[in-house]
Amino acid sequence: FGIGASYGRGVMICRGGQHYTGPWGPPALYALEGGSIGFQLGVQGTDFVLLVMNPQGAKSLLTSKVKLGADASAAAGPKGRTAEGATDVVMKAEILSYSRNKGLFAGVSLEGSTLRSDGSANEKLYGQKLDAKEIIREGKVKNPSCASELVSLLDKKTPKNLSDPKSLE
């Protein structure tokens, strides 16, 4: 019996537009914190990417701290997912999560972890103090050059928001 802890850093990125059907916008940097009690002992570092698939997912994450699974519906991304973290085939989860431990990104459930905007990392990336909402929804910054490969890949390979019928018009 023991106590475990995890900490990580990653990005939150949303599609643009009123119904989240536009191109992917600039990333906001986030910190992940979590703990558990059970048959383990140790600390684990995690890199993660969150794909926010609809307005409710964005709203949840853009409000200071959020606990995944309690404050926002999160599911493992479609590749490498486990039964407990799986989303449905038409991608109606609010947030798809991909995380990396020891070198491999896979769809992994981050349920129970707490996310918060990493203000100092965002300031370093964009050269000014911005909160996640200003980056993600208010268009106060453009995509940094270091994010161009990620954004291009997401534009080509990810499905549109299917949770809101109006978004398909």
pLDDT in tens, 36-81: 544 444 445 667 777 766 777 777 778 767 666 555 555 555 554 3
Is residue 95 in some structural domain?
no
Residue 136 domain flag: yes
Indicate whether 127 belongs to any domain. Answer: yes
- Cβ-in-10-Å burial (0-12, 13-18, 19+) of 103 comes to exposed
103-153 pLDDT tens trace: 444 444 555 677 788 999 999 999 999 999 899 888 899 999 999 998 888
- Establish if 80 belongs to a structural domain: no
CA 26 vs CA 38, 125, 142: distances in Å: 38, 11, 6
In a domain, residue 165? The reply is no
Q: Give the tokens for residue 32.
A: 């992940």
Query: Do the domain assignments include residue 60?
Result: yes
Would you say residue 103 lies in a domain? no
Structural domain range at position 39 = 2-46+54-68+109-160
Q: Report the pLDDT value the prediction gives residue 2, as an integer from 0 to 100.
A: 46
Reported confidence tier of residue 29, pLDDT bands at 50, 70, 90: very high
Query: Cα 26 to the chain's mean position, in Å?
Result: 13
Please tell me the total count of domains within the chain.
1
Residue 16 in domain: yes
